[in-house]
Chain A
């Protein structure tokens, strides 16, 4: 009791201290927040709609809107089953309920009506009823405690209450969190307006984070009166990780060109030179066949049959591949263009006298692309060095300190643009992903701890409630001793199984009579 009183008093004292500290901080931050909010208000009316042109202020974060719009457009073209999958939202509560339905209604059937079990029917029935009781308790504890615990963590991270900046989603808040705020401010808001408002809020938040890198040299934003600044060391890691990912991608492309695409094109060219007549006749045949048809599906059928014929006549794999590549095109115009292109290539390579000449020709054609990729690689490596120069690391390991000027990003902007026009957008997205990953890792551990903590409670409740329910609702089941168990009890009293057993009842009656 004294412990409880101390706890309450301590909480009250802590809250008072917190209120005073917030008051002092507000006096410093209020003017800064006012400026940011007034800027946001000025451009709010110019915030782009999905159909309209993007305001210049949101140019860099504009990829966010484009990505969202592209996703919606792609979903609209998908088959109904894919669209349905997207509509079905399986949240935590739905998961808990579906699991409980399975536990309470499906599992008991496989216990009670199990043909492989030797246990008597009453025992199986009694045991089977444990499942629905367990399911109800699971819903109560999971939905009541675990789910609320997870919601508490989500609210905490979205409102920016964690000390570490990288544990807070306050810079780019979740859709659900923003929807809850919008609904609270405007209970009658329509679904479409809600989605639009949330998208605009996220766009503003993204742009704020991008802009802050140019003025502060790192990601910075203000939420609920607190300024969140990503430590310089962490921001440098973001920059180098994003750059290294780009470098990996370019190196992969260079390797693909050198080891796959170039040999493939050389082989194709040599085939076209050596089998010029066959290629010309096949391509012209296909072109004639395609031009007769108008419907895309009929063209696809025709090309399928053509491929089948080539395979059955054991035509060269290259020829089959050529017709397969033509079939990949989406409509008649693209198909006829591809056939024309193939014929032109065949004519080009026919002029080569030897295979070596083909090789040199192909290398000459592909080399500019490889050179462009190598130039990209050099730009990226140069950027990495520049990042190291602007974000200076002193010391090693835990004692390492990274310092940079506030204009570091502005100075690096030209180098960023050489590597990727959306470099800063990608850096900010990386930070958002890192925060999500940090929360995920924390949730895994805190979820485990909370589950283990609730376990004795759930277990105790089940063992208290279950026999009581069975005694009340199914007294015959809980009190009846099955005849098989009775026989065992009786046989257990007879140490000499050879002796004819006497029924207990008759023996009792005989003893009573003798009295």
Chain B
């Protein structure tokens, strides 16, 4: 309790609250505009945090994240286009509901569901995380190696798209992380004798290249255009709460929250998948499945509850194990490392105040997002009218500033452009990019623990990883996930 109160007093400072609010505003805008996402917003604003303490810096980034995930439903409801991948399923029913003259209800349901999803998942994460971190403290290098490999194979094989391409993407990420100085013995690898590459590839330059520059080039290539937004009718808060139907939809609410939390916890999944799974479950269990796709409130609620519940779920492995749950937590993890903080089980022991500060900030971000959105519903169509030519031009500049400012090293700007090209090629060829990012981030942990684990073996044999029960189970799960995904893909191909 005392740690919680200490964290609370550290968080509730004018600067933290102002940055949290600013982050939420930016996040909602990024989430609302198709083509931009929470991960782009977090990546672009990360350099702004360098001059602040970790808690203050995180207040900005967490505000962007939660605002961004919540904001995705705005374009889904008013344009029929998901603002972010986390709002794909929301589109199916929010847009038809809006077009039938009930845009206020569609938006209101999204706002309330987002709020409940975020708060629920943060509270659960705050209670579960200390337990998981205590278990993780008993892990040795074998378990950490197995965790890293399992996380990577989950991402590579269960993420959308071709399984083999997902694994290739993961191996590419692992390869990139070897550039620089090796762990344990400090041996320079693939540096070609240059100082520029001795420090390895800058994570910020990599993510800015992939998520910002590449995205802008991609949107220009596909001629992304503005659509006309649906008009918003008048409504009041009491009516919106009544429309939520808490009693009648109780089972749907609990199921969607649970699904979102669990899927968010699994590495590589996140809100992009949770909203689709929760939606399909809601449809399968509904008394009126024929209404889905035509403006079903159940569908909107399921999707938005799950995608926001995934937020808390994905922060659990990030903080307790140092393994990102999705792309945003991968960038947040990079941000914490840049601030000199190593997420993992030791974080709870060495810096519990920071951990609880993060949970408190997430909860506050959820509350701020809720009140901001409820009171600014009428402004939503205006957000969607910001011309891409102005927005993207500024984003390009911000990306360069971000790449340069982390090390004051111009070479990082060139790295950023290089990864934009790599990202474009991978996307054009049908590869998922998330496995590459996770491979890059998890690579050092995987290598360090593989080498440490093998030094404990009397024969240097890999069998030592299979002799430890937890490690063996995790590696078995990794294998199963790959085999299962390949079999499933073959079945789908044969049925086409």
Q: Are A and B bound to each other?
A: no
Q: Which residues of A contact B (CB under 8 A)?
A: none
